[in-house]
Amino acid sequence: MTHQLDGKAAFITGGASGIGEATARRFAQEGARVVIADVADDLGRRVCEEIKQGGAKALYVHCDISTPDSVRQALEQAVERWGRLDIVFANAGIAGVWAPLEDMRPDEWEKTLRTNLEGAFLTLHFAIPYLKSAGGSIIVTSSVSGNRTFGQPGAAAYSTSKAGLVALTKMAALELARYGIRVNAVCPGGVPTRITDALESRNTEEIPLHVEMPEGNPALHQGVGQPEDIADVCLFLASDQSRHVSGVEIYVDGGASLLI
């Protein structure tokens, strides 16, 4: 049976959990050889082994996207193992610190931007040379936050990083089209993942942005998605079905961000 990603190799940052894990599993189901890149070594190795137990091919590599050498070495290991690179999912990121601008420390701001925005840049920077020979697909995880919604109190650093990722996506799409490389962004809405586990919130009650809908949330599934919902969109963007799609952001939130 033919699968959509047969013979292709995919590199996924943040692949040990959440959206990255769901996408790694989905790509593997469709025949891709996946590389799970993360700092959560135990989780990443577990996901990798489970994928292999299902009959697919997978590799786990330690990768800190905020460190250039770590990203470069992870991609080198990926290409050394599979001999090629076709799909890059720049997905890893942090929620960071949410606080009023006057309370947020410069180092807190810098860490969020360095991890989310510079981390995606580093992933693209080191992956592009491998993609140029045969083309491929780059997918970036942005968010509705910073692009269609701005109602999360204290999320200025996070939202700024996610808005910047859409700009990076569009610039890269035009720059890389001559090599047959497509670049697109997925913008999830509310999705339960581990990214909020390390979220630090401070004095956000001082920012009057809370909105309550008297009739409840009329969006699909009340606006709450699952990692698998994002993974299916990523499959479309990774596959030849999206061969003429580049430079776009796709909102995957059940329409919830249209409300506020």
- Residues annotated as catalytic (active site), given as ranges: 158
Dist. CA 218–CA 231, nearest whole Å: 23
Q: How far is CA 175 from CA 129, 132, 143, 223, in A?
A: 13, 12, 23, 34
CA angle 8, 228, 173 (to 5 degrees): 50
AA identity, residue 150: F
**Residues whose CB is less than 8 angstroms from the CB of residue 53 and which lie 6 or more positions away in sequence, other chains included:** none
Provide the sign of the torsion angle of the four alpha carbons 81, 85, 87, 93, taken in this order. positive
Determine contact, residues 23/89, Cβ cutoff 8 Å.
yes
Q: Taking Cα atoms as reference points, which of 202, 107, 200, 140 lies closest to residue 13?
A: 140
